[in-house]
Chain A
Amino acid sequence: MLSAATYGENGKMKEYHYSGPVEHRFSPYTFNGGTVLAVAGEDFAIVASDTRLSEGYSIHSRDSPKCYKLTDRTVIGCSGFHGDCLTLTKIIDARLKMYKHSNNKTMTSGAIAAMLSTILYSRRFFPYYVYNIIGGLDEEGRGAVYSFDPVGSYQRDTYKAGGSASAMLQPLLDNQIGFKNMENVEHLPLSQEKAVQLVKDVFISAAERDVYTGDALRICIVTKDGIKEETVPLRKD
Chain B
Amino acid sequence: MALQDICRQPHTPAFPLSRKWNDPISLALDGGDTNTVLGRGGFATLPFYMPLTANTGFKKPPLRPRTPHPAPPNQIPKRAAVAVPFELAHGTTTLSFKFQGGVIAAADTRSSCAGYVECPTAEKVIPIHSHLVGTTSGTSADCMLWKRILSRECRLYQLRNKVPLTVKGTAKLLSAALSPFKGTELCVAATLCGWDRTGPSLHYVYSDGTRLEGQLFSVGSGSPYAYSVLDREYRFDMSVPEAYALARNAVYHATHRDAYSGGCVDLYHVTECGWRKIGRDNLLPVYYEKKGGGEVRGF
Whether, in the assembled complex, A212 has its beta carbon less than 8 Å from a beta carbon of chain B, the answer is no
Of B99-107, B110-118, B154-162, B211-219, which binds chain A?
B110-118
Residue total for B at the interface (Cβ-Cβ under 8 A): 40
Knowing A103-B2, A151-B141, A152-B141, the reply to whether A127 touches B84 (Cβ < 8 A) is yes
Residues of chain B from 72 to 114 with CB closer than 8 A to chain A in the complex: 76-77, 80-86, 88-89, 111, 113-114
Q: Is the CB of B83 within 8 A of A27?
A: yes
A125 in contact with B184 (CB, 8 Å):
yes
Name the contact of A155 in the complex, choosing from B18, B24, B115, B185 (C-beta under 8 A): B24
Q: Which of A1-33 contact B (CB under 8 A)?
A: 1, 3, 27-29, 31
Specify which chain B residues have a CB less than 8 angstroms from the CB of A121 in the assembled complex.
141, 145
B182 within 8 A of A: no
Q: Which of A28, A102, A147, A149 contacts B82 (CB 8 A)?
A: A28
A118–B86 touching, CB < 8 Å: no
In the complex the two chains form, what is the Cα distance from A139 to B2 in whole Å?
A: 14
Q: Given A121-B141, A124-B186, is A129 in contact with B86 using a C-beta cutoff of 8 Å?
A: yes
Q: Does A167 contact B (CB under 8 A)?
A: yes
Please indicate the chain B residues that have their CB under 8 angstroms from the CB of A110 in the complex: 19-20, 23
CB of B79, distance to nearest CB on chain A (Å): 9
Interface residues of B in 1-56 (CB under 8 A from A): 2, 5, 17-20, 22-25
B119 at the interface (CB under 8 A from A): yes
Which A residue sits closest to B184, measured CB to CB? A125
| In contact, A29 and B24 (Cβ under 8 angstroms) | no
Please, which residues of chain A bring their CB within 8 A of the CB of B170? none
Interface residues of B in 231-263 (CB under 8 A from A): none
> Is B115 within 8 A of A3, CB to CB?
yes
Measured CA separation A3–B139 after assembly (Å): 20
Smallest beta-carbon distance B4→chain A, Å:
11
Within 8 A of A (CB), among B156-188: 184-186
**Are B80 and A151 in contact (CB-based, < 8 A)?**
no
Return chain A residues, CB-CB under 8 Å to B144. Answer: 117, 152-154
Residues of A within 8 A of B186 (CB): 124
A125 touches B81 (CB 8 A): yes
Judging by beta carbons under 8 Å apart, are B141 and A118 in contact?
no
Q: Which residues of A84-118 are within 8 A (CB) of B?
A: 102-105, 110, 114, 117-118
**Assembled-state Cα–Cα distance A11/B139 (Å):** 31
Instruction: Please state if A3 and B81 are interface contacts (CB–CB under 8 Å).
Output: no
- A86 vs B39: C-alpha distance in the bound complex, in angstroms? 35
Interface string of A144-159 (1 = CB under 8 A from B): 0001011111111100
Complex: chain A residue closest to B22, CB-CB = A114
B266 within 8 A of A: no
State whether A125 touches B140 (Cβ < 8 A).
Answer: no
Tell whether B122 is near chain A: CB-to-CB under 8 Å.
yes
Number of interchain pairs (Cβ within 8 Å):
85
A-B contact pairs, 17 of them (CB 8 A): A3-B114, A3-B115, A27-B83, A31-B85, A105-B5, A110-B20, A125-B81, A129-B84, A140-B18, A149-B89, A151-B139, A152-B141, A152-B144, A153-B88, A153-B144, A155-B122, A157-B119
- Chain B: interface secondary structure? loop
From the candidates B19, B113, B114, B145, name the one contacting A117 in the complex (CB within 8 A).
Answer: B145
Q: What is the CB-to-nearest-CB distance from A14 to chain B, in angstroms, rounded to a whole number?
A: 14
Per the bound structure, the CA–CA distance linking A167 and B116 in Å amounts to 7
Q: Closest CB-CB distance, A217 to chain B, in whole Å?
A: 23
Q: Indicate which residue in A129, A149, A156 contacts B141 across the interface (CB closer than 8 Å).
A: A149
A126 contacts partner chain B, Cβ-Cβ < 8 Å? yes
Residues of chain B in range 140-157 having any CB-CB distance to chain A below 8 Å = 140-142, 144-145
Q: Determine if B88 and A149 form an interchain contact, defined as CB atoms under 8 angstroms apart.
A: yes
CA distance A150 to B80 in the complex (A): 14
Interface centre among B24, B114, B119 (most CB of A within 10 A): B119
Known: A140-B17, A167-B116. A155 touches B82 (CB 8 A): no
Task: State in angstroms the CA–CA spacing of A29 and B113 once bound together.
Answer: 19
**Residues in B neighbouring A154, C-beta threshold 8 A:** 144
The docked-state distance in angstroms from the alpha carbon of A147 to that of B114 is 18
- Of the candidates A105, A153, A167, the one whose C-beta lies within 8 Å of that of B140 is A153
A125 proximity list for chain B (CB < 8 A): 76-77, 80-81, 184-185
Q: Which of B5, B86, B88, B140 has the most A CB atoms < 10 Å from its CB?
A: B86
Contacts of A139 in B (CB 8 A): 18
Measured CB to CB, the closest approach of chain B to A32, in angstroms, equals 12
Is the Cβ of A151 less than 8 Å from the Cβ of B116? no
Determine the residue in chain B with the shortest Cβ distance to A166.
B116
Whether A153 lies near B141 (C-beta < 8 A) is yes
